[in-house]
A and B are shown apart, each in its own frame.
Chain A
Amino acid sequence: MNLIETALDVLDIGVDRFDYTAGGLHAQAWVRPEQLRPACRALYSLGFFLETVTAVDLIAGEIMQGVYLFNHYEQNMRCKIILETERINPVFPSIGAIYPGAVWHERETGEFFGITYENSRDSRCLLLPEETTFHPLRKDFKPQGQPVDTP
């Protein structure tokens, strides 16, 4: 039983192991939205550090995938927490109260994908101008012909 399985075992979340040499990932775990915060709390208590919070827009399946990558300082153990929701007005729970560094990642991912992070303590735009209404990393965004006022 590796460290991720130890963390997620009590929450009854299944862990799929990966071939690390092929993809650089040790394991992944699918969670439901209400399981995300307990899972992150368990990882935090075992000292997993937050690598990134991001998303993947799977336009073919009309799915927005939330991707959370964690690693550990003491032993090499990269794990991916993954959850899915519909593409239209996607909402994920915020983990900023558990991992304070996640607030910036969520602000960035939120503005790029049009994702709302529920109960986030700061949901302003981070990298794009404040009044931005488009979401450039959504697959239906066309890079051309979107004039924008720069500050």
Chain B
Amino acid sequence: MFESETAPTYHLETVEDNQFVLNLGPQHPGTHGVLRVVLHMDGEYILTADPVLGYGHRMQEKIAETMTYTQVLPYMARMDYLGALSYNQAWVCLIEKMCGLEVPRRAEYIRVLCVELNRIASHFLWFGAFLLDLGAFTPFLHAFADREKILDLLESVTGSRLTHCYFRFGGVGADVDDDFFAGAQAFVDHMRQHLPTYHSLVTGNVIFQERTKDVGVILPFETWGYGLSGPVLRGSGKQYDVRRSEPYSIYPELDFKIPVEQSGDCLARYLVRLREIEESLNIIEQAVAGMPDGPVRSKVPKIIKPPEGEAAMAVETPRGELMIYLVSDGTKVPYRVKYRVPSFANLSIFSHLARGQLLADVLAILGSLDMVIPEVDR
């Protein structure tokens, strides 16, 4: 079914009378980051959509080959700046797995607590931006007011509001105090009261339902060909979450559900993310309640030298499965690092979804895929 599709070409002389080429981005206010999409249109309908990537490309994989394992760590947060702590976690877990380093239990709990706060913050930003795409301004203000509370909390432990670099090999950078736990618990209580406002403001809104229902449907049998993951996949009825399927850290001990929707449209992906916020609140509450005492960092060698060989480590970021594939030659510099980023795979289905759709619906589809362009471009 896919063999007939060929690379789209845009020669103006081949464009027929009622057709035209529309350039969406990289500065179009309706797009996120610096994504450019070349749309071949027939009136209001899309004939082909061709994303043009690379405006935020920094060759992260080559950078990693020129640095020691410790020096690579801060670069992780520069890929997905909205889910920076998930990227931190993937890199430290990978090196800990290869070198056989111990992690104290308190450090694991702090990691999970921070990662889940980060996940909620990322979903809030998506929520605001997605609804801005659809023309709703008020939800954006609600989401950013709540996101601000998380950023304040994370700033107090990581020292930065964006691009956090807090995790270390064998633990975390510094211990947290009781104010942080009290703040996290207060945030959970606040969100439990405030989340119904999100639903009454947006989910039940007729215009929102009309704009997202049955738009951009991803059928279950299309998912694995494109390697989808995260909420984009779970909106199409596949219950796949790395935290459950490939358990790492303390996730097996925690009680949380994996939200799944069956319809595969923009509304399904929206509902999955909102329900994920609720589940992350549950995880935060459990992590605060079960927080053990003890050290937050174990003794690790000054120079990290993983043994010769290869390893893969996957974590669930707010956007889906991040997998790092590492080939080590036994020196203190990685031989080859491959970042398998979720946004890249999730965006690759976009031109398939956009074909035959209206221009306004394409903006809804782009928003519902929730990609971070610096992560796609690396």
Contact = CB atoms under 8 A, between A and B. Distances in A.
Given A23-B311, A24-B314, A52-B325, A100 B2 contact: yes
B54 A101 contact: no
10 contacts: A49-B227, A50-B227, A56-B336, A57-B336, A67-B338, A78-B312, A78-B314, A99-B227, A122-B7, A129-B54
B312 A127 contact: no
A66 to B, nearest CB: 12
B66 interface: yes
Contacts of A27: none
A52 B378 CA distance: 15
Interface in A21-67: 22-25, 44, 47-52, 54, 56-57, 67
A24 B7 contact: no
A145 interface: no
Contact of B311 (A24, A48, A143): A24
Nearest to B221: A47
A128 B54 contact: yes
A101 to B, nearest CB: 4
Contacts of B325: 52, 54, 67, 69
A52 B323 contact: yes
B224 A137 contact: no
Contacts of A54: 325, 338
B2 A51 contact: no
Interface in B89-133: 94, 97-98
Given A54-B325, A69-B312, A128-B54, A136 B62 contact: yes
A17 interface: no
A121 B59 contact: no
A136 B64 CA distance: 12
Contacts of B344: 104
A105 B338 CA distance: 11
A97 interface: yes
B223 A49 contact: yes
B239 to A, nearest CB: 8
A123 B7 CA distance: 8
A100 B226 contact: yes
Interface stretch (B135-143, B209-217, B286-294, B345-353): B345-353
Contacts of B5: 100, 121
Interface size on B, as a range, is: 35 or more
B330 interface: no
B223 A56 contact: no
B149 interface: no
A127 B62 CA distance: 14
Nearest to A103: B348
B159 interface: no
A83 B241 CA distance: 29
Given A56-B327, A76-B245, A136 B227 contact: no
Contacts of B3: 97, 121
Interface in B181-237: 223-229, 233
A96 interface: yes
A141 B5 CA distance: 34
A62 B97 CA distance: 30
A50 B224 contact: yes
B309 interface: yes
B175 interface: no
Contacts of B224: 44, 47-50, 73
B14 interface: no
B310 A25 contact: yes
Given A24-B311, A44-B225, A124-B7, A69 B352 contact: no
Contacts of B226: 50, 99-101
A126 interface: yes
A126 B53 contact: yes
Can you list the 10 inter-chain pairs with the closest CB atoms, starting with the nearest? A49-B224, A101-B226, A24-B312, A122-B7, A50-B227, A52-B340, A127-B54, A73-B240, A23-B311, A127-B57
A59 B345 CA distance: 29
B261 to A, nearest CB: 15
A126 B233 CA distance: 24
Interface string B283-318: 000000000000000000000000001111110000
A140 B174 CA distance: 40
Nearest to A108: B344
Residue in B98, B240, B313, B349 whose Cβ sees the most chain A Cβ within 10 Å: B240
